[in-house]
Amino acid sequence: SKRVAILTSGGDAPGMNACIRAVIIACQKANYTLIGYKHGYNGLLQQEYISLSLDSTHNLIQQGGTILHSARCEEFKTREGVFKAAKNLDKAEIDTLIVIGGDGSFRGAETLGEEWDGQILGIPGTIDNDIGGTDATIGYFTAIDTAMSSIDKVRDTADAFERIFLVEVMGRNAGFLALNAALSAAADYVVVPEFFESPDVEVTKIVSQIKAQRALKGPVSFIVVVAENVWPNGLNGLTEALQHHHINDVRPVTLGHVQRGGSPVAQDRLLATTLGEFAVSLVGSDITNIMVGEVNQRPVTVPLPKTWENAKPLNVARVDAMLTLMNERYNNV
Ligand code: F6P
11 alpha carbon to ligand 1 midpoint, in Å?
6
Instruction: Give the pTM.
Output: 0.97
Residue nearest (by alpha carbon) to ligand 1 atom 7: 172
**Quick check: 234 pLDDT over 80?**
yes
Contact 128, 172 (CB under 8 A): yes
Contact 37, 5 (CB under 8 A): yes
Phi-psi region of 125 (alpha: psi -120 to 50; beta: other; left: phi over 0): beta
Residue nearest (by alpha carbon) to ligand 1 atom 12: 11
**End-to-end CA, the chain:** 70
- C-alpha distances out from residue 64 to 13, 134, 138, 263, Å: 7, 22, 11, 5
Question: Which residues lie below 8 Å from residue 67, measured CB to CB, with a gap of 6+?
Answer: 17, 20, 36, 56, 60
* Reported ipTM: 0.99
Range 284-311 average pLDDT: 97
CA dist 224 and 23 (Å) reads 40
What is the reported pLDDT for 268?
98
- C-alpha distances out from residue 113 to 37, 85, 89, 104, Å: 17, 11, 12, 14
Q: Say if ligand 1 is within 6 A of residue 155 CB.
A: no
For the chain, helix, strand, coil in percent to 5 are 50, 20, 35
Q: Say if ligand 1 is within 6 A of residue 130 CB.
A: no
Mean pLDDT of the chain: 96
286 as an active site residue: the answer is no
Q: Say if ligand 1 is within 6 A of residue 102 CB.
A: yes
Question: Which residues lie below 8 Å from residue 208, measured CB to CB, with a gap of 6+?
Answer: 330
> 325 falls in which pLDDT band (50, 70, 90)?
confident
129 alpha carbon to ligand 1 midpoint, in Å?
12
Q: Which of 299, 303, 331, 282 is nearest to 30 (CA)?
A: 282
Q: Say if ligand 1 is within 6 A of residue 172 CB.
A: yes
User: Which of 69, 130, 172 best tests ligand 1's pocket when mutated (most atoms within 8 Å of CB)?
Assistant: 172
Q: Say if ligand 1 is within 6 A of residue 126 CB.
A: yes
CA dist 166 and 226 (Å) reads 7
100 alpha carbon to ligand 1 midpoint, in Å?
15
**Quick check: 330 pLDDT over 80?**
no
Residue nearest (by alpha carbon) to ligand 1 atom 11: 11
DSSP reduced 3-state for 116:
coil
Q: What is the pLDDT of residues 122-147, one digit of tens each?
A: 999 999 999 999 999 999 999 999 99
